[in-house]
Structure formats: structure tokens, C-alpha cells
Amino acid sequence: MCKFYLHIIIIFIIFVYYLITNSIIMILAGIDRDQTFLFTSFNDFISNDNPVRTIDFFVDLIINENTIEFKYKGESNEGRPAYPVSVLVKLFIYGYINRIRSSRRLSTECKRNIELIWLLRGLAPEYRTIAYFRANYKDIISKYNTLFKQKVADLKLTSNEFAIDGSKFKANASKDMLSRNATLKELEKLDETMQEYLEALEKTDKEETADEELNKEQLESKIEELESKIAICKAALSTMDSVGKNFISPTDIECSLMKSRDGCIPAYNVQLAVETKNHFIMGDYVTDSANDINELALMVEELETEISAEDITTLTDKGYPDLDVIEQLEASGRATCYSALPEEKQDKDFKYDKERDVYICPQGKELRRFRMQKSKNNRQFIKYKCNDCAGCPIRSKCTKSKTGRMYSRNINQDFRDSYRAKMLESESKEKIKKRGSVVEHVFGNMKVTGGKIPLLLRGKEKVGTEIKLYVMGYNMKRLITLFTLPELIELVSKAKEKEVEMNRNILFFCIFLQIYSKKQKYLSYYC
């Protein structure tokens, strides 16, 4: 009996040893490829906290709520059915989050990346389809970008305070810019050379020798070559005239020559408005202007259009403060503006007497109101003039005018002075300081995503579309960072419940008004 139990124990030990050794082998060597598995669900490949689940949920949420807005297939029913818009939107968002922007790479990842296979339900668009959608369906991409921002705003995840800035993105264009002056000089040289060749050709026409005939053929070939170069120069000048620029790139005529850390490069100026609560990008557009001074009003308009923003507060750097624009925005109640200000270019030795409306020069002489004047950009100035400069000991240093010293005062100078004083307050300084930490990080993130070639498309309109893909990717990344999927689902559910309750209250109020109006009509009839 003891031997029996001993045998059982020995067999059990051998069995356990076999299991342990085989498990170790499996861990070290992996799973046998010929082994057959039966999976209950494809979801087993994707963990519950995987970011692609959030992408899938949020894109479907927006597209399902706006089905009519997302149709891009033409009227023809011929050929293969078009991919659903949700598939391509999810693909681009995933790509821009994970620094995969190339159409060919995205197409490859659709076939081998388990996350993308799950996200797109096994669909794998070819690179031509991906590239064509990005380049030609700007309306759909723009619409989704807008709805994304609106949804984030509806979920109360944003504030009405926006850090605004612009950054230069190198255009997908040749570095060899064509200059108007250089092109004109080149055209002049070509015309001179052409005249010389034409004179030489006329001379050879009078000769009849074989050598002269050969020379004639060479001259005609040279003239044909010169005509081609002249045509190119004239076309370049015509293009410069049409776009109003003195420099153009042969490969992307809509970009501009802009200063950057890498010197002067063909580039676009990307404008962003980032809200300061959770750092979502709520406003974006592309301009070919090298500076930002005219962009503040346009960005406020962009925020009003995109997300119906009200009571806007803007934070900007020294590149934006057109104080006339700021006065208009604040006077209309559209925005409250905080901006770093450059040094005011005014002679501080001239003191303004507001009560008498005169300027006092360093020698105690008065400059009285003389006339109104407009600048080239239609800004109005009041000219003040001193008529008593004779015998002034510092006249030669003060003015070269024979009639006396003139001094200009902006018609809105009172606002400018009060605004400058406001920007020196501690609260204003803190807000302006906050701007850099909010918006500059976003630009850094976008440029890291883009790498050495941040822009793949050419032309201002298409570049604007590409920037919207950057924006969608960044905003989705912020959403994933802030919330887990269950938290996001709960947030959306609560928002829908509040919306339903609000609609119910509105309905009851309308019914009440209708009943009340009928009651008043009935009483007035009988009374």
C-alpha cells in the first residue's frame, strides 16, 4: 500500500516538473505558430485603457450626431463604395497623435498595426485614397475640426480666456526664392543677349557660305533657348503681381519669405488660440503674412465663428498690439485684451496739457493744435505746431523745419495711455506671463510631430487643412490625457441628461405661454 502511494507521489512530482519546465520554455521561446487558438473577441487584443478606444468613441459620437454633414462620395454609384468618413478621420487622428503623417506609412500601418486594425475594423485604405482625402476634402476636415471644438466647449472643458500666438512653419517648397529685383535684372540681361543674337542672325542671313549656314543654326537654337528663359521670367513677374509679393517660391507661390531661427525661409504663419483651462486649441488658421500685428481681430472673429465664444479674454505678445484694434474690440465688448507692449516711440520731453490741449516743449514753448492728418494705414493723428521757435538754443537739434517744430498725437492717445498703465498692473503682468507657458508648448508639440518636414501640402488653403489635422490630433491627445474612457462616457451622458432636461423645461414653458395667451384672448373676448 505504501509503495502505491509512493508511486502516486512520484508521478505527481514528474507531472508538476513537466508543467513547470514547459511553461518556462513557452515563456522563453514564445507560442508555437502551428498551435490553433480560438478567440472569443477581437477586443482581447486592445486593453480597456488603450487610447484608440477614446478615439473610436469620440469620433463616432461627433459623426453620429452630425450624419448629414459628413458625405464626401459623389453622385455616381460606379466603382468601389467610398470609405466611411469616420474611418479616414480616425486614421488621421491616430496618425498625427503617433507622428505618422505619410500616406504610404499610414496605409502600411493599417495592415500590420493591431491598434489601427481594431480602430478601423480591418479596413485598410490605399495611400492614394488617404492622400486624396487629405488634399481635397478640406470642407469635411474643417467641419469635423469645428464640431470637435464645439463638443469640447459643450462639455464645459474650456474657458473663455485664450492665449494667442503665431509661429512660422516651413513650407513644402524650394529654398530658391525668386526675387522681383533679381528677376527684372535677369530679364534685362536676357533681352540684351537676345538683341545681340538677333543682330548676328540678321548678319548671317546675308551670307551664303556653308560655314555661315552652320552658324545660323546655332544662333537659332540659342535664340529659342533665350525665348524660353524670357517667358519663365515674365511668368514669374506676372505671378508676383497677381499675389502682390516681391518674393515667390517656384514650387509654392502662395508661401512667403519669413525670418526664422534658420534664417529667411519660405513659410506660412500658423495662428493658434489655446484656451487656458485645459489647453485645447479652439481657434486656428493660416496666413502668408510674416507678422502678427493684423491678426488679433481675425482670431477673435475665428473664435466667435468656430465656438460662438463670448466675453473673450485674449493674451498676446508684443507682435499683436495694434492699440487701435484693441480699443475697437474692447469698446464693442467683443474681447478684453492683455498684451505685452513694445516701447512707445515718443519724445518724453514733450509734455501734454490735457486741459488746454497743448504740448509743452523742453524750452517751455507751446505747440498748439494745427490740423488732422491720416497715415498710410488710415490711422488719424492730430498735428501740433510751435510758431515760436525763433531764437531757440536747441532748434537745430529739435527740428530742421523752417516753419517750426511739429508734433503728432494719435486721436486715440487717451486710450493708449490708459491701456499702457493697465498693462503695468500686477494682474495684467501675470496674465501675459501665463500666455507663453500655454501656447508655446502647443507649437513645440506640433513641430515635434511634424519633424523636419512639418508641412506635406502646398498652397495656403491646403496647408490650412493640414494644420487642422494637427489641431485635431493635439486636441484628442489632450482629451486622452485628461480623461479615461469611462470618465469621458460619464461626462457625455451627464451632458446629454442636462440637455434633455433643458429641452423639457423649454417645451413646458412654451406650452404654458401658449395656454396663457389663449386664456388672455378668451377673457378679452368676453370682457
pLDDT of residue 208: 55
Q: For residue 120, what are the contacts with CB-CB under 8 A and spacing of at least 6? A: 87, 90, 91, 110
pLDDT of residue 175: 72
CA dist., res. 490 & res. 485, Å (int): 9
Segment 234-246 shows an average pLDDT of 71
pLDDT band at 63 (very low <50, low <70, confident <90, very high): confident
pLDDT band at 293 (very low <50, low <70, confident <90, very high): confident
Which of 145, 489, 435 has the alpha carbon at shortest distance from 314?
435
CA dist., res. 246 & res. 290, Å (int): 13
Higher confidence at residue 254 or residue 438?
438
- Asked, for residue 437, whether it belongs to a domain, the answer is no
SS3 state at 264: strand
∠ CA 374-380-385, nearest 5°, is 80
The answer to whether 426 and 410 are in contact (CB under 8 A) is: no
pLDDT band at 363 (very low <50, low <70, confident <90, very high): confident
The residue from 226, 248, 270 where one domain ends is 248
Segment 60-75 shows an average pLDDT of 66
CA dist., res. 370 & res. 382, Å (int): 7
Which of 173, 258, 107, 261 has the alpha carbon at shortest distance from 454?
173
pLDDT of residue 154: 92
The total of structural domains in the chain comes to 3
- Return the sign of the alpha-carbon dihedral for residues 181, 185, 186, 187: positive
- Asked, for residue 139, whether it belongs to a domain, the answer is no
Which CA distances in Å does 227 have to 184, 198, 251, 382? Answer: 15, 12, 22, 55
pLDDT of residue 343: 75
Put simply, whether the predicted model's pTM sits higher than 0.85 gets the answer: no
Residue with cell 378679452: 524
Q: Is the pLDDT of residue 76 over 70?
A: no
Q: Please state which of the ranges 62-66, 185-189, 210-214 shows the lowest mean pLDDT.
A: 210-214
Instruction: Name, of 166-170, 280-284, 310-314, the range with top average pLDDT.
Output: 280-284
Q: Please state which of the ranges 65-79, 136-150, 172-186, 406-420 shows the lowest mean pLDDT.
A: 65-79
First to last CA, the chain: 114
Bridge partner list, 257: 266
Q: Residue 9's CB: how many other CB atoms inside 10 A? A: 10
pLDDT band at 515 (very low <50, low <70, confident <90, very high): low
- Asked, for residue 443, whether it belongs to a domain, the answer is no
CA dist., res. 449 & res. 101, Å (int): 9
Q: Is the pLDDT of residue 360 over 80?
A: yes
- Asked, for residue 147, whether it belongs to a domain, the answer is no
Residue 237, domain extent: 178-248
Instruction: Name, of 45-59, 71-85, 204-218, the range with top average pLDDT.
Output: 45-59
Q: What is the largest CA-CA distance in the chain?
A: 137
- Asked, for residue 81, whether it belongs to a domain, the answer is no
| Cα 233 versus chain centre, distance | 33
- Asked, for residue 48, whether it belongs to a domain, the answer is no
Segment 423-427 shows an average pLDDT of 90
What's the one-letter identity of residue 332?
S
Q: Is the pLDDT of residue 454 over 70?
A: yes
- Return the sign of the alpha-carbon dihedral for residues 413, 418, 421, 423: negative
pLDDT band at 283 (very low <50, low <70, confident <90, very high): very high
> What average pLDDT does the structure give for the chain?
80
Helices 323-331 and 413-423: crossing angle in degrees, nearest 10, is 90
**Cα dihedral 515/520/526/527 (nearest 10):** 160
pLDDT of residue 236: 72
pLDDT of residue 301: 94
Q: Is the pLDDT of residue 88 over 60?
A: yes
Instruction: Name, of 104-108, 174-178, 422-426, the range with top average pLDDT.
Output: 104-108
- Asked, for residue 377, whether it belongs to a domain, the answer is yes
SS3 state at 317: coil
The residue from 399, 420, 441 where one domain ends is 420
Higher confidence at residue 189 or residue 311?
311
Which CA distances in Å does 333 have to 309, 328, 411, 473? Answer: 12, 9, 21, 33
- For residue 506, count CB atoms less than 10 angstroms from its CB and return exposed for 0-12, middle for 13-18, buried for 19 or more: exposed
Q: Is the pLDDT of residue 407 over 60?
A: yes
pLDDT of residue 69: 52
| Cα 439 versus chain centre, distance | 12
**150 is written with which cell numbers?**
464645439
Q: Residue 15's CB: how many other CB atoms inside 10 A? A: 10
The residue from 375, 404, 420 where one domain ends is 420
- Asked, for residue 145, whether it belongs to a domain, the answer is no
| Cα 303 versus chain centre, distance | 13
The answer to whether 473 and 466 are in contact (CB under 8 A) is: no
Bridge partner list, 374: 380
The answer to whether 292 and 166 are in contact (CB under 8 A) is: yes
Q: Is the pLDDT of residue 526 over 50?
A: no
- For residue 19, count CB atoms less than 10 angstroms from its CB and return exposed for 0-12, middle for 13-18, buried for 19 or more: exposed
The answer to whether 455 and 268 are in contact (CB under 8 A) is: yes
- Digit-coded pLDDT (tens) for 91-135: 999 999 999 999 999 999 999 999 999 999 989 999 998 999 998
Q: Is the pLDDT of residue 75 over 50?
A: no
The answer to whether 305 and 149 are in contact (CB under 8 A) is: no
Which string of DSSP letters, residue by residue, matches 273-297? EEETTT--EEEEEEE--SSSTT-HH
The answer to whether 383 and 407 are in contact (CB under 8 A) is: yes
Q: Is the pLDDT of residue 82 over 80?
A: no
Which CA distances in Å does 226 have to 177, 201, 269, 322? Answer: 21, 14, 37, 48
SS3 state at 259: strand
